[in-house]
Structure 1
Amino acid sequence: MNLPTLAVLLSVAGASPEARPSVQRLPARLVEGTFFARPVTRSGRTLNLYTDTGGGLWLTQAVAQELKLPTRTEAQGEEKREVLTALPEFRPGQGIPAPLEGTFGVMPKQEGSPVPAGWDGMLGQEWFAGRVWTFDYPRGQLLLHAKAPPMEGTHVVPLGFRVGKDGKRETAFARIQVQVDGEPLDLLFDTGAQTRLTADAAKALKVAAGERATSFITKSVAERWRSRHPDWRYVEAAEAGTGAPMIQVPHLSVAGHEVGPVWFTLRPDRAFHEYMAQWMDKPTEGALGGSALHYFRITVDYPGARALFER
């Protein structure tokens, strides 16, 4: 997931660096607890880009071909992949910035492709790296800051990032600590954590079926919660496709706030103890996603490795 540096710079919303405001609202909308960036190209094509601080960086092959975007092939280990060498030009005031780190991969269309219908791409951890962002869930706004605003007090929390022997940050997957049932838990800060509910699960949760924001927790932690609190709501086979259960915790503490309830979708321990651990500074027990984040306005200072949670 750690990709080479993008050589092509794209102006933010079509403005020169000198003209950029200190805080800029990006074209985006909040859909079922997840932010989608909605930049508009010069030709009038609106892109629907899933934003995911715990995900990758790519556009679909269909969009790359439709917009005639230039690409090249590069080595990735023993394999090769297609990447963009330039992004489309956007209309003034309706664009998004290029990543400071990494390149956009091109996601080929394959039979049984995991790309949901309507997605044109994903803006993942490399897109967020090196900048300061505000995820304003109550207002449904995604903001980009020219520099970090004042951030201090009990509602500011440190973020952990994996660094190499040279002290340089290797990824932008952020670790954040929360408390549930008096127990500290290290989680991935994951604005893109999402599940697809079955019809029965949607009925139990009293929401519409389909994709919606969630948080993730390892099976072992969920089992510990259930043994201590058999009264906590638990929905079997809640997730379409995987059959994963969901558990609702009544309260969660983060950055000096206590909020709840919060739904978690279960994941095998190895998903975080082994797989995600490759890119984290330490193993985590799951991911903090929109089912918890929707209570807050969150400013994330990636260079400063900290986040401010406001209500």
Structure 2
Amino acid sequence: MRTTPRTRAVSDTALFLGPAIVLLAIFFVAPILVNIVVAFTDMSQTLDFKDFPTTKQFNKLGKLDDEALLGIELRRSFYKALMLTLVFVVLTLGIFNLTFALILGLTTTALPDRMGAFFRAVWLLPRMSPSVVYALLWLWVVDSTERGLFNQILMAVGFEPMNLRLDHPMAVIVVANGLIGASLGMIIFTSAIRSIPEHLFHAARADGAGPFSIIRHVILPALRWPISYITIYQALALLVSFEYIFLIMGPARSTMTMAMLSYTKTLAPQIGGGQYAYGAAIAMILIVIGILVALAMWRLTNMKALLQRPRIEVR
């Protein structure tokens, strides 16, 4: 059978993407399907279930059932986790993953190459270090005793020690996640800024533009697509983030986001876990929220235009 160029192109694409598609199906699609199935059961620690399909787990978040007090408590914890997730994502994304990452990208590219590379390497160290080490450093920083780094600074300037984990828990997890999350945006923004043609900067300076005018009229328009990508990617990543929250704050109600609530209800029997079906139902709601957020941001940022074929062919 004679093969055409189009057939060969399709077979080459399948051969190239085949391993990635298989891994994606095994480690991403399959767990989602299993989670959906478990969410419509009454599975508990015994891994056994009698009812399928059932909406019992979702009813706990809706109308009152026979266990009225239990239903009220479950709904309170769920909606509080929903609001904390919104606050956590918006603050971390807006203040650190976008704004602070952009500032880092601008400042490190304005420095000499070696000095800029040094500062970028410093900001990448937390991301390259084990999560437990990073969390232990934060536990030392926010220690409520006089040994904590933050309290040492406060006492040095004449203030009383503070218990940040108790008094300002959301601030702790926002800053802790934001500082490590800003490194990704820093790298992408730095690469995008360096790809801007040099003659645009020379022309702007020749026209009398200052540093802020160059940032506004030259750099920021060129960063439209990187900013859109970071916004969508980091928003979805923060929705399901709970690793540093759990390591630094533990299962505290003051920082119980949706992802943390799903984890504690599922895999933490010492704090009321083992409710596999209920945890899967929360995770399923989180998946739906993530899909809606991704579609909304895709529409608002017009990411479709980024993936279109160029109108001219560059050789």
Q: Which has the higher helix share?
A: 2
Larger RCO: Structure 1 or Structure 2 (Cα < 8 Å, ≥ 6 residues apart)? 2
Q: Higher Cα Rg: structure 1 or 2?
A: 2
If the TM-score is normalised by the length of the shorter chain, which range does it land in? under 0.3
Q: TM-score, normalised on structure 2?
A: 0.22
Q: TM-score, normalised on structure 1?
A: 0.22
